[in-house]
């Protein structure tokens, strides 16, 4: 049986847990913690930090953005992952080889993050690269929706083999806008039919396999005037038309693309009313405290299903596994080749 938790996922200020943060984590509205680069020194330190968080409340969901390439918060003591575009290049040359490598990468990532004490990494990126978005770019598996769907599926299978949940982002697709939703509110004016035939393909294909989805802070004006993460229409489509039954995470409600909904409480209410299960409120402690206080009595069940449920591997023991050694070597070589190009 899964126990309900609070709906708010917070961040921390540094690489260790302060007394004030420990008190905040004990607030009933807090259901999770996300780690950023400022919280990370190396894998061993992340493991200690996760332990400190769990000593406050063992049920908290601990997350990180560890995609590969430029979005890789933990860089010391774990495998360097290439951008997802490298898998797309391999898939174009050999679909079988590309998918097999993506599956192995998902498994290795899941094993390493579990060993660090984490429950989830917000991956895979399922945005289709349209050549417009610098914030997506090589974070995407590529420009072919079917290839993105196939590689995303392989990556999800690998995560699941490691016992880790998979969280696809950024529904229904951030690849068709140039603006960065961290600092602006992008508007995608393409017809809904085009979005369904292109950007939505990976999400439709994987809706039954994903454990979590993160919607984009992007307006798709042909369908709804609200950003997807604040849109009952978009999140209703995700649940009803695509059949997604997992957890919906808002993207960070402090991002500029979320501000159109109003202040912190208004943003939180808009996301929850639209259908989000867990709210990310990061890089703004005052806003986080405001939302935590406002939702002290609110409980949600879906995030608990994403907690890592197996005995955690030890990083030092992974080297004894043939699959880890083989995959580690290939991914490090790919990461090096990307750095040189």
* Residues acting as catalytic residues: 182, 251
Determine the Cα–Cα distance for residues 262 and 218; give it in Å rounded to an integer. 16
Distance of CA 269 to the CA centre of its chain: 21
Tokens at residue 233, please?
């229409």
Query: For the stretch 172-182, what's the b/e string if a residue is b when 16 or more beta carbons lie within 10 angstroms of its beta carbon?
Result: bbbbbbebbbe
Which 3 state secondary structure label does DSSP give 10?
A: strand
Phi, psi of 257 (to 5 degrees): -65, -15
Q: What are the DSSP calls for 287-333, one per residue?
A: HHHHHHHHTTT--BSGGGGGS--SPPPPHHHHTT-HHHHHHHHHHHH
Angle made by CA atoms 149, 152, 154, in degrees to the nearest 5: 110
Q: What are the DSSP calls for 166-193, one per residue?
A: -EEEEET-STT-SS-TTTS--EE-S-HH
Determine the Cα–Cα distance for residues 78 and 187; give it in Å rounded to an integer. 37
Phi, psi of 230 (to 5 degrees): -110, 15
């Amino acid at each position: 049986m899964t126990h309900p938790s609070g709906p708010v996922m917070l961040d921390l200020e540094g690489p260790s847990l302060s007394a004030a943060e420990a008190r905040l984590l004990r607030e009933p509205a807090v259901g999770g913690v996300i780690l950023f680069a400022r919280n990370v020194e190396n894998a061993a330190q992340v493991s200690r930090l996760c332990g400190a968080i769990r000593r406050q409340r063992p049920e908290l969901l601990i997350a990180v953005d560890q995609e590969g390439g430029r979005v890789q918060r933990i860089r010391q003591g774990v495998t360097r992952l290439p951008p997802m575009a490298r898998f797309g290049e391999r898939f174009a040359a050999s679909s079988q080889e590309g998918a097999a490598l993506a599956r192995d990468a998902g498994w290795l990532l899941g094993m390493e993050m579990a060993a660090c004490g984490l429950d989830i990494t917000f991956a895979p990126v399922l945005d289709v690269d349209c050549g417009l978005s610098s914030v997506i770019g090589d974070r995407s598996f590529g420009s072919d929706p079917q290839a993105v769907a196939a590689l995303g599926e392989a990556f999800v299978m690998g995560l699941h083999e490691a016992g880790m949940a998979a969280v696809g982002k950024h529904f229904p697709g951030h690849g068709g806008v140039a603006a960065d939703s961290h600092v602006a509110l992008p508007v995608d004016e393409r017809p809904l039919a085009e979005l369904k035939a292109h950007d939505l393909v990976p999400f439709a294909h994987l809706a039954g396999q994903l454990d979590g989805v993160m919607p984009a802070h992007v307006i798709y004006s042909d369908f709804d005037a609200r950003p997807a993460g604040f849109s009952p229409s978009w999140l209703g489509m995700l649940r009803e038309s695509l059949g997604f039954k997992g957890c919906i995470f808002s993207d960070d409600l402090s991002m500029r693309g979320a501000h159109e909904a109003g202040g912190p409480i208004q943003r939180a209410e808009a996301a929850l009313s639209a259908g989000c299960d867990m709210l990310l409120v990061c890089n703004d402690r005052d806003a986080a405290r405001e939302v935590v206080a406002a939702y002290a009595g609110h409980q949600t069940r879906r995030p608990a299903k994403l907690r890592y449920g197996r005995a955690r591997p030890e990083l030092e023991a992974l080297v004894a596994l043939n699959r880890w050694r083989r995959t580690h070597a290939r991914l490090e070589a790919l990461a090096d080749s990307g750095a040189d190009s």
